[in-house]
Structure formats: C-alpha cells, structure tokens
Amino acid sequence: MPLLKFDLIEGRDRNQLRELLDAAHEAMVEAFAVPQRDRYQVVTQHSPGEMIVQDTGLGLERSDQVVMLTVVSRPRKESQKLAFYRLLADGLKHRCGLDPQDLMVSIVENTDADWSFGRGQAQFITGEL
C-alpha cells in the first residue's frame, strides 16, 4: 500500500518510465514484503529549471536524470527502509542506467486511518485489509 510519487525532469519516453516504475515496484515488494498487486505510483514530470535537487553538502553530482521519490507508507522498520534504498538504487542502475547519485528518496509515514482505497471507507480500519 505504499504510494510512490516520482518527480522527474521531462524527457524520458514511455518505455523508460515503465522500467523506472517496475524497478521501484520490485524494490518495494522485496524490501517491504507487500503483495505484488499493491502498486500505487504517480509520475510528475517537470520542465528543466522546475526542480532543484542539491546535495546537502555530500558532494553528489546531480544530472537532468535526477529522480526525487516520495514514499507514503505505514510505518516500516529501519532495516526495511535501508534495504529499500539499496534495492532501489541497484535496480534503477541496472534497469535504467541511473547513477545512484541521481536518486533522492524520502519516506513519509502515516497510520491505518490515513488510507482509503475506495468506497469511502478506511479498509485497514474496517478490517477489509
């Protein structure tokens, strides 16, 4: 049930976007142990100049291929988050050729009451999930 929100600089074609989304989903399924069909992903593409992603003094070199990913999720263990970061960076490098320096991830946690998958109900609260 994590919601993955990708912010990218425009320019990737449909196949490149699909590879990126598939690699991210595979990392999430493995690291967070969520079902394969638990997939919620949104891509927002920006014109050059609409994204500023610096390095917080870490000496990272960013390019126009930078991926800023926000993951909204129920609480996860630190070990799961660390595994996700590693699997994601590896998967994006392997499948998309993305330099790991061009990947920034922020995980935002929420609770069961913060999710409704439809029908105006909170399925984690009602017991449907």
Average pLDDT, the chain: 97
**In angstroms, rounded to a whole number, what is the distance separating the alpha carbons of residues 7 and 61?**
18
pTM, entire model: 0.95
What confidence tens digit (pLDDT) does each residue in 107-118 have?
999 999 999 999
pLDDT attached to residue 53: 96
Collapsed DSSP state (helix, strand, coil) of residue 67: strand
**How many angstroms from the chain centroid is the CA of residue 20?**
10
2 is catalytic: yes
Q: Which of 2, 48, 75, 100 is catalytic?
A: 2
Indicate the pairing of strand 103-109 with strand 67-73. parallel
Q: Number of H helices and number of E strands within the chain?
A: 3, 4
What confidence tens digit (pLDDT) does each residue in 22-47 have?
999 999 999 999 999 999 999 999 99
Say if residue 1's pLDDT is above 90.
no
pLDDT attached to residue 10: 97
What confidence tens digit (pLDDT) does each residue in 72-125 have?
999 999 999 999 999 999 999 999 999 999 999 999 999 999 999 999 999 999
pLDDT attached to residue 108: 98
Pick from 64, 129, 77: nearest CA to 107: 77
